Amino acid sequence: MPFTVTGRFDDGATYSVQITGRADRPVIGSHRAAALVELHQGGPVSLSPTGPVRTVAGNDEATVLAVLRQYTDVVDEGPGAPRQARIPG
């Protein structure tokens, strides 16, 4: 189920994208966010601070979101977004 993610890159530029779950176009709304996901496709990403680690795939919404969480500051995740485990502390 598609959902929206809003975030910020390290340089302060903001983005708002829809994560689609489609292999051919996993992210819609920001060319830069889409390029970031494409760059990491096929590589490992941790779904939460404690794991598990999975291979990034365009049709895997959880791994696409994990890439955005790891390489940008995700500010808001819309309804339907996979939840990330939190480490107390």
pLDDT of res. 81 = 81
What is the chain's pLDDT, residue by residue, as a tens digit (89 residues)? 789 999 999 999 999 999 999 999 999 999 999 999 999 999 999 998 888 999 999 999 999 999 999 999 999 888 888 776 554 44
pLDDT of res. 86 = 52
pTM: 0.89
pLDDT of res. 80 = 80
pLDDT of res. 17 = 97
CA distance 52 to 26: 21
Give exposure, 54-64, as e/b (b: 16+ Cβ within 10 Å): eebbbebbbbb
Enumerate residues 6+ apart whose C-beta is below 8 A from 16.
4, 5, 6, 29, 30
